[in-house]
Structure 1
Amino acid sequence: MLQNKKALFPLLFSLGFAAAFSAPASAAVIASIKPLGFIASAIADGVTPVEVLLPDGASEHDYALRPSDVKRLQSADLVVWIGPDMEAFISKTASAFPAEKNLEIAQLPAVKPLLITGAEEQDEHHEEDEAHHDAAHEHHDHGQYNMHLWMSPEIARQSAVAIHEKLLELMPQRKDKLDANLQQFEADLAKSDTQIAHQLAPLKGKGYFVFHDAYSYFEKHYGLTPLGHFTVNPEIQPGAQRLHQIRTQLVEQKATCVFAEPQFRPAVIDAVARGTQVRKGTLDPLGMGISLAKDSYVKFLSQLSSQYESCLKGA
């Protein structure tokens, strides 16, 4: 009998060891990019873990899924992403998702009327300038609409409502907590929105250039005055005609600032700004230094507004 027990211990140990490593070590909610993770974290706080697929420092424009990423997506209970025009790297995997685990923000009925077009008049020269690029680059562009949806406080609120609904379907027993989390998020967002509007109001009318066309929702919401962007797709450097156009405006002192990004610090910004009075700043469209927490989206908006203010206001 004792001998049988001794034989049983290694078996139980090996079974336990195998189980520990075969269990999916993934979050219940996976967000494609960090700002969506911020919103999901507010709603899922104290209910279920949230992870972000895109690593800090990577760009959603050119990321390629690793096999471990595919496994994480497949084992998640809910995947939150913008849509194929933004995260092309998820599209193939997401096509196999059941509807209950696939939350595509751009397709939400409440979000569609809030979309703004990605084409602006000032892009005409830019697109002529870039005409020599082959069609292989074209899939990186965001199609008819600007897909940087997380920059809109109102779309963020609608996204939170949709995440709340999905998690409620998955975990109806946690309704009270999920309801409280959504209510808190909406209250914090409204308070932050008022504060940021007050902070940025004195900056209206101050012209600037951003590196790429990522901020339109934020700028429109708070009434800022962008003169344009260097490029629509940060993987493609702006052409000579576009740079000449921007340089002319900088020399004529029509712009107060030019903004780079942590993910993209192209030499063209330094070159174009050289010899002018224009200040250089940095805008972080993905909130790289912010950790996932229930208040992280509000922190993200606040950080972005301070980045605008520090450069546009000056010393």
Structure 2
Amino acid sequence: MPASYPAAFLRAVGRTCRFVCLGAALGMATGVNAQAAVVASLRPLGFIAAAVADGVMPVEIVLPDGASPHDYALRPTDALRLKKADVLVWVGPEMEAFLSGSASSLPAARRITLASLPSVKPLLQKGGEEVHENHGHDHDDGGDDGHHHGEYNMHLWLSPTIARRTAEAVHDRLVELMPEKKQQLDDNLRIFNALLTKNDKNIAIMLALVRAKGYYVFHDAYGYFETYYGLTPLGYFTINPEIQPGAQVLHKIRTQLVEQKATCIFAEPQFRPAVINAVARGTSVHIGTLDPLGMGIALDKESYARFLSQLANQYVSCLEKNT
């Protein structure tokens, strides 16, 4: 810039540049994604959404890997992401309490609350202190054959049947938003369902060898998956993973481990409580890990199928061990 320009003019230009540069930097830091996006509360819901929205709209996840929806606190960047979301996909306030405020501030047309969908509500399972009875490998995945204290099991993404309903709901909402993309969205939904059908058969074959083996899980999260594939859970340590079981419960579990000849106890990557090691000590029970949130699995058209296959492998890797 020529030196002959007045000093006051140069200072004004400098101030303008600083404001523009600062605004750009803040935009980069806080503008999570300027383009249209589907925001999923949890990674497995993101797997389903990513399959349907493939090539149409990006998908973002709120809950980071390693965190639990039971105790997560929303960050400012999360709140901004939700504010900008074209569609939020979540289970509902019973599961993601951390999202309740942000979700309720979104117009109804911009959120999909899975637990409230008419196609999903009849499939909700109840649960509680008693594990639901094993009714074999039936694929209706519904019914109230569990015994919770009037509360539904909200780990809906572990049901392949509810996953299909979720995919349909995301498809229908995106068609409303982007009718010009209907053909691609139709194709994506068809591919998702076909892949799920193929994957389902493979998982059923994998799990057939261990379906009769008893086990305990740390956290009452797997009822949909267990019922769908006819597994034989003996019980669980806690409904809420934030609450450690008491001495009386642990004694009862240890007694059942021995008397019912349980093969495994499963922990989770998000929760590795010392009580599992303590209860299993001195028994022949193996300790395995189940990941109900699909940590580290990348989002793409096949990620939900990979997630279910990974979970099935985690069951098999422990249950197939000789006891």
TM-score computed with the length of structure 2 as normaliser: 0.85
**How far does residue 143 in structure 1 lie from its aligned partner after superposition?**
6.2
Counterpart residue identity of residue 85, structure 1: E
Q: Deviations over 1:182-208 (max 9, x none)?
A: 000000001001111111112122100
Residue of structure 1 in register with 2:240 after alignment? 233
Whole-angstrom CA distance in 2 between matches of 1:21 and 1:29? 23
**How far does residue 162 in structure 1 lie from its aligned partner after superposition?**
0.2
Residue of structure 2 in register with 1:288 after alignment? 295
The answer to whether structure 1 residue 99 and structure 2 residue 111 are counterparts is no
**How far does residue 142 in structure 1 lie from its aligned partner after superposition?**
9.4
Counterpart residue identity of residue 62, structure 2: L
Is the CA contact 1:151–1:218 (under 8 Å) kept in the aligned structure 2?
Answer: yes
Q: How does 1:74-85 map to 2 (within 5 A)?
A: 74-85=83-94
Residue of structure 2 in register with 1:64 after alignment? 73
Residue of structure 1 in register with 2:125 after alignment? 116
**Pair 60,142 (structure 1): closer, same or farther in 2 beyond 3 Å:** farther
Is the CA contact 1:253–1:278 (under 8 Å) kept in the aligned structure 2?
Answer: no
The answer to whether structure 1 residue 187 and structure 2 residue 194 are counterparts is yes
**How far does residue 16 in structure 1 lie from its aligned partner after superposition?**
8.6
Residue of structure 2 in register with 1:128 after alignment? none
Q: Deviations over 1:2-34 (max 9, x none)?
A: 999xx9x99799769846854833261110000
Is the CA contact 2:32–2:80 (under 8 Å) kept in the aligned structure 1?
Answer: no
What is the aligned counterpart of 1:302 among 274, 285, 309? Answer: 309
Q: How does 1:106-255 map to 2 (within 5 A)?
A: 106-121=115-130, 144-255=151-262
The answer to whether structure 1 residue 90 and structure 2 residue 133 are counterparts is no
More helix by share: 1
Q: Deviations over 1:64-97 (max 9, x none)?
A: 1111111110111111000000000001111111
Residue of structure 2 in register with 1:264 after alignment? 271
**How far does residue 289 in structure 1 lie from its aligned partner after superposition?**
2.1
**Pair 50,175 (structure 1): closer, same or farther in 2 beyond 3 Å:** same
Number of residues of Structure 1 aligned to a counterpart in Structure 2: 295
**Pair 75,143 (structure 1): closer, same or farther in 2 beyond 3 Å:** farther
Q: Deviations over 1:95-146 (max 9, x none)?
A: 11101111101111000000000224369xxxxxxxxxxxxxxxxx996100
Is the CA contact 1:41–1:294 (under 8 Å) kept in the aligned structure 2?
Answer: yes
Deviates more, 1:228-237 or 1:247-256: 247-256
What is the aligned counterpart of 1:48 among 37, 44, 57? Answer: 57
SS in 1 for 2:153: coil
Structure 1 stretches of 5 or more lacking a match?
124-140
Is the CA contact 2:128–2:149 (under 8 Å) kept in the aligned structure 1?
Answer: no
Is the CA contact 1:78–1:102 (under 8 Å) kept in the aligned structure 2?
Answer: yes
Deviates more, 1:273-282 or 1:247-256: 247-256
Identity among equivalent positions (%) equals 63
Counterpart residue identity of residue 104, structure 2: S
Residue of structure 1 in register with 2:144 after alignment? none
**Pair 253,269 (structure 1): closer, same or farther in 2 beyond 3 Å:** same
Whole-angstrom CA distance in 1 between matches of 2:103 and 2:51? 24
Is the CA contact 1:114–1:155 (under 8 Å) kept in the aligned structure 2?
Answer: yes
Whole-angstrom CA distance in 1 between matches of 2:296 and 2:150? 29
Is the CA contact 1:85–1:143 (under 8 Å) kept in the aligned structure 2?
Answer: no
